[in-house]
């Protein structure tokens, strides 16, 4: 009787394992594919705040050149009014700048959701719980046997073995579900990510932003000239302006960097969209995983370039 | 670019040119003190207008960024909801395990 039971149990286990293995083979993502999703999510995390930093940089230059202009005014009341207006405008500009990270915040939230979805913990924890449940049942069986409630001793170890098989099955099924969801979500998100990045790039390339940058480039020498002319008309004229000249050159350098910074953000944003497209494609075709990693390495290079470009602004903020 | 945006950019360019002219004249040695005061006043009025236009253009930029991405936000919420749902079984298994351990503890006390 006991032999027959164990045969049935063994057969059931074999069938279960075959079913699980057949399920695993179809529809699962490889480790490389899952890793590429994680790497993309990490790259998205590093790609943040740059549009707002660009606008913050413009605001800082505007404030500094405004100070040159204010110093050129002779009437004290005009000077105070100008300084107050500069202060208010700077505050408003910085608030506005922070709003420009909206699209990147959304991307970040999406990448975080992807990271959580693809983490090993999702399916590993299920297996751990089943195994632990099997052990709990077995220890309960041992305790029950000690109490001699039943005529025959209950078999020990069956629950533990069964739980191991069930845990493996649960892990496999959950992993498969996780992979199916990842594939579906990344595909669904691709059109949205492309549209989001396209919108961001269009805004960055817009004539309005060009106008803001050009206005600072033209306004800086004009305001500095007014400042120098006001110094000349003062009595006695201030001859040594080396410190102001140095400040002017620093601002001029920042002005010329604005266009490059904008270009770097556009380039990295386009790269991000392209990488996501490759990622979505690679989840359906294991052969294309290599292409994703190539795009990812370019994306990381672009992001590093951005970090370098904006390093001094981030440092200045802290 | 909309007509409004076009107008803002064109106005900014006009103000910038006007400021250039006023600033050139403001420090001329041939001007009387009253004329200097008037030009300084005119210059500050132009600067105020420049600031207004810059703020409006900045708002247009922020607005155009904000209108994008609402669909991706919804998708992110959907992903999070699915992920949460996936952990429900683990939670219920944990409860069963706790119940079994409690029974074991009780049986040990006999």
Who's near A61: CB < 8 A, 6+ residues apart?
A216, A220, A251, A254, A255, A258
**Structural domain includes residue A128:** no
Which residues of B fall within a CB distance of 8 Å from A178?
86
Which residues of B fall within a CB distance of 8 Å from A211?
8-9, 12-13, 57
In this complex, is the C-beta atom of B87 within 8 Å of any C-beta atom belonging to chain A? Answer: yes
In this structure, are residues A287 and A307 in contact, taking their beta carbons and an 8 Å threshold?
no
In this structure, are residues A183 and A30 in contact, taking their beta carbons and an 8 Å threshold?
no
| Interface contact B90-A125, CB threshold 8 A | yes
Average pLDDT over residues A153-171: 78
Instruction: Give ipTM to 2 decimals.
Output: 0.72
| Interface contact B97-A136, CB threshold 8 A | yes
How many residues does the structure list for chain B?
A: 110
pLDDT band at A9 (very low <50, low <70, confident <90, very high): low
Average pLDDT over residues B37-66: 91
**Structural domain includes residue A298:** yes
The DSSP result for B38-106, as a single string, is HHHHHHHHHHHHHHHHHHHHHHHHHHHHHTS-HHHHHHHHHHHHHHHHHTHHHHHHHHHHHHHHHHHHH
* Per-domain boundaries in chain B: 3-109
* B86 pLDDT above the threshold of 60: yes
Angle subtended by helix axes A50-71 and A207-233, to nearest 10: 20
* A215 pLDDT above the threshold of 80: yes
Q: Which domain holds residue A302?
A: 30-119+186-317
Q: Count how many domains chain A has.
A: 1
Q: How far apart are CA A304 and CA B84, in angstroms?
A: 34
* Residue A19, φ and ψ in degrees, nearest 5: -60, -45
Nearest CA in chain A to B59: A96
Taking the complete model, does pTM exceed 0.80, yes or no?
A: no
Scan for tokens 């025959």, then name that residue.
Answer: A152
Q: Which of B41, B57, B65 lies nearest to residue A211, judging by beta carbons?
A: B57
**Structural domain includes residue A131:** no
Which residues, numbered 3 to 42 in chain B, qualify as contacts with chain A under a Cβ-Cβ cut-off of 8 Å? Answer: 5, 8-9, 12-13, 16, 19-20, 23, 26-27, 29, 36-37, 40-41
pLDDT band at A182 (very low <50, low <70, confident <90, very high): confident
For the ranges A60-69, A74-83, B3-12, which has the lowest average pLDDT? B3-12
* A241 pLDDT above the threshold of 70: yes
pLDDT digits (tens, 9 = 90+) for B71-85: 667 777 777 777 777
Scan for tokens 């050139």, then name that residue.
Answer: B24
Q: How far apart are CA A231 and CA A245, in angstroms?
A: 13
Average pLDDT over residues B34-62: 93
**Structural domain includes residue A12:** no
* A100 pLDDT above the threshold of 70: yes
**Structural domain includes residue A257:** yes
Nearest CA in chain A to B8: A208
Q: How far is CA B14 from the centre of its chain?
A: 27
The DSSP result for A126-181, as a single string, is HHHHHHHHHHHHHHHHHHHHHHT-SSSPPPSSHHHHHHHHHHHHHHHHHHHHHHHH
In this complex, is the C-beta atom of B97 within 8 Å of any C-beta atom belonging to chain A? Answer: yes
Question: In terms of DSSP H, where are the helices of A72-120?
Answer: 76-99, 102-117
* A98 pLDDT above the threshold of 70: yes
Q: Which residue has the higher pLDDT, A283 or B54?
A: B54
Q: Which residue has the higher pLDDT, B65 or A269?
A: A269
Mutation target among B50, B56, B79, B91 for the A interface, most CBs of A within 10 A: B79
Give the pLDDT of residue A66.
97
| Interface contact A143-B89, CB threshold 8 A | no
Give the pLDDT of residue B71.
66
Percentage of chain A exceeding pLDDT 70: 84
Tell which phi-psi region holds residue B32, choosing left (phi > 0), alpha (psi between -120 and 50) or beta: beta
* A213 pLDDT above the threshold of 90: yes
Nearest CA in chain A to B7: A208
Mutation target among A72, A131, A162, A211 for the B interface, most CBs of B within 10 A: A211
* A7 pLDDT above the threshold of 70: no
Q: Which of A308, A300, A305, A287 is nearest to A40 (CA)?
A: A300
Q: How many helices (H) and strands (E) does chain B have?
A: 4, 0
pLDDT digits (tens, 9 = 90+) for A107-140: 788 888 888 887 777 667 767 777 877 887 788 7
| H or E, element range at A280 | helix A242-282
Q: How far is CA A312 from the centre of its chain?
A: 21
CA contacts within 13 A on the Cβ side of A21: 6
Q: How far apart are CA A149 and CA B60, in angstroms?
A: 80
Give the pLDDT of residue A318.
38
User: Whole-number mean pLDDT of chain A?
Assistant: 81
Give the pLDDT of residue A149.
74
Q: Which of A44-58, A202-216, A285-299 has the highest mean pLDDT?
A: A202-216
């Amino acid at each position: 009787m006991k032999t027959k039971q164990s045969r049935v149990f063994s057969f059931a286990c074999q069938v279960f394992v075959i079913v699980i293995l057949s399920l695993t083979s179809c529809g699962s993502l490889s480790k490389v594919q899952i890793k590429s999703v994680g790497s993309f999510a990490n790259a998205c995390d590093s790609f943040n705040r740059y549009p707002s930093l660009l606008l913050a940089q413009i605001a800082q230059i505007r404030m500094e050149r405004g100070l040159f202009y204010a110093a050129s005014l002779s009437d004290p009341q005009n000077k105070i009014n100008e300084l107050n207006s500069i202060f208010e405008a700077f505050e408003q500009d910085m608030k506005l700048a922070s709003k420009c990270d909206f699209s990147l915040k959304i991307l970040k939230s999406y990448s975080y959701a992807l990271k959580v979805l693809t983490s090993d913990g999702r399916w590993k924890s299920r297996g751990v719980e089943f195994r632990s449940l099997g052990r709990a049942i077995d220890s309960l069986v041992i305790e029950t046997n000690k109490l001699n409630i039943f005529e025959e001793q209950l078999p020990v170890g069956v629950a533990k073995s069964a739980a191991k098989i069930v845990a493996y099955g649960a892990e496999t099924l959950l992993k498969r579900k996780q992979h199916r969801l990842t594939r579906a979500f990344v595909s669904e998100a691709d059109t949205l990510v492309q549209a989001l990045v396209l919108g961001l790039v269009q805004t960055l390339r817009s004539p309005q932003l060009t106008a803001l940058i050009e206005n600072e480039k033209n306004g800086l020498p004009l305001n500095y000239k007014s400042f120098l002319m006001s110094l000349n008309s003062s009595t006695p004229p201030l001859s040594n302006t080396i410190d102001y000249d140095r400040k002017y050159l620093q601002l001029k350098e920042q002005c010329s960097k604005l266009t490059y910074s904008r270009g770097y953000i556009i380039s990295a944003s386009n790269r991000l969209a392209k990488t996501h497209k490759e990622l979505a494609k690679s989840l359906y075709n294991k052969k294309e995983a290599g292409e994703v990693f190539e795009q990812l390495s370019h994306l990381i290079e672009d992001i590093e370039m951005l970090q370098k470009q904006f390093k001094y602004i981030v440092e200045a903020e802290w | 670019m909309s007509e409004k945006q076009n107008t803002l950019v064109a106005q900014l360019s006009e103000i910038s040119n006007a400021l250039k002219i006023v600033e050139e004249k403001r420090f001329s040695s041939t001007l009387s003190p009253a004329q200097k005061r008037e030009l300084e006043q005119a210059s500050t009025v132009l600067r105020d207008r420049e600031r207004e236009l810059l703020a409006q253009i900045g708002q247009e930029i922020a607005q155009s960024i904000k209108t994008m991405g609402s669909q991706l936000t919804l998708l992110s919420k959907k992903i999070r909801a699915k992920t949460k749902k996936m952990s429900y079984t683990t939670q219920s298994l944990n409860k069963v395990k706790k119940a079994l351990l409690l029974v074991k503890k009780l049986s040990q006390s006999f």
